[in-house]
């Protein structure tokens, strides 16, 4: 896809490592403020929020709890929380070493529909992977970014995407596995799949990555692809 050239202002916020509920509350506050502004004809502010989460499983509104393969007691023993969310998609894992991005954007300002918005999120991660000599791909019928989609039994997801939108205002977003502990994915059917694997940048490149450096690359690529101008 061709990057947009809108030069639309947005504020970048890095929350660092943060609990899921706290980050969700923060998103909901900005999301509600933007909905209120839009419905009253006032200008809407765009945000690009990055964070890492403490260990957590989140379930999308169309997902099945059967894709969580452990009970609450086991989750407590592991120190992992579980949330049913209002995003799309099924179940996924968030944790340290994973870049989670929550763009809160007015898609009308960008001239985007929800499908083209998700396409551009995918494109941003695909472009990021090129920096490291990896070919990110789309898999028909499966949102997110994958590797080796055309090799039987080898397809593996490196970035999950699940969003919510109302009146063209977005929230939730993407989770890009950088130095993620992939063992946590063994306790779920990731995104509802039982026959596909999950991977990380660390696993694909054979060594732990500089997380701050990757964070900056993803930020720069996203702003270029979406035509965003980060405000001071």
The vertex-195 CA angle with 193 and 196, nearest 5°, equals: 75
CA–CA separation, 155 and 199 (whole Å): 10
What are the residue ranges of helices labelled H in 131-185? Answer: none
CA distances in angstroms from 3 to 167, 186, 201, listed in the order given: 23, 36, 24
Does 51 qualify as catalytic in the annotation? no
Burial of 129 (C-beta count, 10 Å sphere; 0-12/13-18/19+): buried
Listing DSSP states for 80-139 in one string gives -EEEE-SSSS-EEEE-TTEEEEEEE-BHHHHT--HHHHHHHHHHHHHHHHHTTT---EEE
Catalytic residue among 51, 127, 159, 191: 191
Burial of residue 71, with CB atoms counted within 10 A of its CB: 0-12 exposed, 13-18 middle, 19 or more buried:
exposed
Task: State the catalytic residues.
Answer: 191
């Amino acid at each position: 896809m061709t990057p947009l050239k809108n030069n639309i202002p947005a504020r970048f916020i890095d929350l660092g490592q943060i609990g899921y509920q706290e980050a969700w509350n923060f998103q909901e506050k900005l999301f509600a403020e933007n909905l209120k502004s839009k419905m009253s004809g006032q200008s809407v502010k765009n945000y690009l929020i990055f964070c890492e989460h403490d260990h957590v499983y989140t379930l999308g509104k169309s997902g099945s709890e059967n894709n969580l393969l452990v009970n609450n007691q086991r989750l407590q023993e592991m120190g992992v929380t579980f949330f049913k969310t209002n995003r799309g998609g099924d179940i996924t894992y968030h944790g340290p070493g994973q870049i989670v991005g929550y763009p809160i954007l007015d898609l009308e300002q960008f001239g985007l529909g929800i499908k083209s918005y998700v396409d551009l999120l995918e494109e941003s991660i695909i472009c990021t992977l090129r920096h490291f000599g990896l070919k990110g791909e789309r898999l028909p019928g499966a949102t997110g970014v994958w590797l080796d989609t055309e090799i039987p039994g080898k397809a593996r997801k490196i970035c999950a995407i699940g969003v919510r939108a109302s009146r063209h205002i977005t929230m939730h977003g993407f989770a890009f596995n950088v130095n993620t502990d992939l063992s946590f994915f063994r306790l779920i059917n990731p995104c509802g799949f039982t026959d596909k694997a999950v991977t990380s940048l660390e696993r694909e490149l054979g060594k732990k990555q500089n997380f701050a450096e990757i964070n900056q690359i993803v930020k720069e690529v996203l702003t270029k692809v979406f035509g965003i101008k980060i405000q001071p």
